[in-house]
Amino acid sequence: MAKSFYITTTLPYINNEPHVGFALEVVRADIIARYHLSLGEDVFFNTGTDEHGLKILQKATEQNISPQEYADKKSKIFSDLIEKLDIWPEINFIRTTDKKHIKAAQHFWKICKDNGYIYKKKYKAKYCIGCELEKTDSELIAGECPLHPGQQLEIIEEENYFFRFSSFQDKLLELYKKNPEFILPDYRLKEIYNFVSSGLSDFSISRLKDKMPWGIEVPGDKKQVIYVWFDALVNYLTAIGWPEDMEKFKKYWPVIQYCGKDNLRQQSAMWQAMLLAAGLSNSKKIIINGFITADGKKMSKSLGNVISPFTLIDEYGTDALRYYLTRHINLFDDSDYSDARFKEIYNAHLANGLGNLVSRIMKLSSQYLNQTPFYEINCPEEYHNFMNNYNLNEAINFIWQKIGSMDETISVRKPFELIKISPAEGEKILIDLVKDLAIIGKMLEPFMPKTASRIISLVRENKFPEQPLFLRK
């Protein structure tokens, strides 16, 4: 039986348009998924949308539609993006408003409750009458709401369910110690270790339905809904059939997760504690991406510098975006984006680099070789090592090094000249070049699926590309 492989992204919250950071996450996960597919593994790849909670309710109210309508509309945009990014078509797209997920989340709650990790408690919240919203301390400046300075905050008391996060400190620390590679990169493991070491407080996992009806009802309490985080995280289980199809679940669990650095705590501490509370085994690995900044600043709606993946795809094409995200965004640290840089990279590496190389080789090949040799294409060992270690950056660097050395070979060994003087020698060089080009195509498959298949079929049919692979911009 084929080895199984389960990978997921975080579910983006649908209060805003998808931005390029989510594209980064899903593209990277897709590359890993496609790579494991190419190894013949039985891959389950999950993404979707996180759709409950106050912000969604507010947005829907603003637009005068029901939260479900709002969610349907927004979720569609995300699934369209998945398609446009050329993500593996068999990806599972889960919505936290799916019936199956709602049932699973409630079931998960019950187990945690039965195991004694959920309890009811009164808790005090600060409420700003101006905003008509609860405020957390971190939102306040000098004890006042920054939007309504001088106004007294009201203290309200509310009864909520709490999760005994505090019970899991030792178990979490043990998890981190035992699995030094549980989190990538290692400094994020250190970060979360410090956080958990410093002590954990229980957190609220429900909301009063009167105040916030847009959520999954707490089992056995019609007055409360499950807090959106607690519900959303369960999707990683629901996606692979839990709890109904335990056979499927056992086949794929545990999961490899991609997430942004803002999700470190939720994914690698809270979620892991939740799994322990439900008696399930922990995730296999969590890979933490950095952020993409825009011209040096954090992307935000108020700054108006949010980069839309749709715009980039329309301008440069899907594979160009996939290339940019994997090669020119740091694997783990923050990286800056600018339009000028994207264009520069597009022209230098895709048009002048890869695209031009394909043209020059295939021109020679189609002109001088009767047919291209059929080889079984095997990727070099180094490539596999990088891919198996999730080191997409090094893997793709390796490909471009190869491209560079092939350009050099053509200039230095001049097959275009040799073929006229000494056909046998010229042919031999050409055959090697074509063969290497096929390997490039093969290695590019997970990264740039369309481009890769174009290269491979050009080689196979021994054709000169009528349209350049990447037009100069």
Partner RNA sequence: CGCGGAGUGGAGGAAAGGUACCUCGGGAGGCUCAUAACCUCCAGAAGCCGGUUCGAUUCCGGCCUCCGCAACCA
| Structure tokens, 257 | 């997760």
Q: Between residues 43 and 60, which has the closer beta carbon with respect to RNA?
A: 60
Under rule CB under 7 A, residue 54 binds RNA? yes
Q: Are 179 and 22 in contact (CB under 8 A)?
A: no
Minimum Å gap between C-beta 356 and RNA is: 3
Options 70-78, 98-106, 277-285, 412-420: segment touching RNA (CB under 7 A): 412-420
Site map 331..350 versus RNA, x via CB under 7 A: --xxxx----x--xx--xx-
Minimum Å gap between C-beta 227 and RNA is: 6
Interface residues for RNA in 155-214 (CB under 7 A)? 165, 187, 190-191, 194-195, 198-201, 203-204
Site map 349..388 versus RNA, x via CB under 7 A: x-xxxxxx-xxx--xx------------------------
CA distance 287 to 40: 23
Interface residues for RNA in 123-142 (CB under 7 A)? 123, 134, 136-138
Minimum Å gap between C-beta 70 and RNA is: 14
Q: Between residues 56 and 256, which has the closer beta carbon with respect to RNA?
A: 56
Options 235-243, 405-413, 424-432, 454-462: segment touching RNA (CB under 7 A): 405-413
Contact residue for RNA among 27, 228, 321, 438 (CB under 7 A): 228
| Structure tokens, 460 | 């196979």
CA distance 383 to 443: 8
Under rule CB under 7 A, residue 120 binds RNA? no
Q: Between residues 299 and 379, which has the closer beta carbon with respect to RNA?
A: 299
Interface residues for RNA in 414-443 (CB under 7 A)? 414, 416-417
Q: Are 399 and 440 in contact (CB under 8 A)?
A: yes
Q: Between residues 62 and 247, which has the closer beta carbon with respect to RNA?
A: 62
Selection from 117, 219, 120, 201 nearest residue 163 by Cα: 117
Q: Between residues 223 and 472, which has the closer beta carbon with respect to RNA?
A: 472
| Structure tokens, 370 | 């009767």
Phi and psi for 352 in degrees, rounded to 5?
-75, -30
Q: Between residues 40 and 143, which has the closer beta carbon with respect to RNA?
A: 143
Minimum Å gap between C-beta 168 and RNA is: 11
Under rule CB under 7 A, residue 468 binds RNA? yes
CA distance 410 to 403: 11
CA distance 439 to 429: 15
Helical residues (DSSP H) of 227-374, grouped into ranges: 228-233, 235-238, 246-252, 264-265, 271-277, 309-316, 318-327, 339-345, 356-368
Angle at 155 between CA 149 and CA 158, to 5 degrees: 140
**Residue 331, amino acid:** L
Q: What is the enclosing helix (H) or strand (E) of 222?
A: strand 221-226
Interface residues for RNA in 300-329 (CB under 7 A)? none
Minimum Å gap between C-beta 142 and RNA is: 14
Interface residues for RNA in 246-305 (CB under 7 A)? 260-263, 265-266, 291, 297-298
Q: Between residues 241 and 290, which has the closer beta carbon with respect to RNA?
A: 290
Phi and psi for 155 in degrees, rounded to 5?
-95, 120
Q: Are 163 and 201 in contact (CB under 8 A)?
A: no
Q: Which residue has the tokens 């092939």?
A: 406
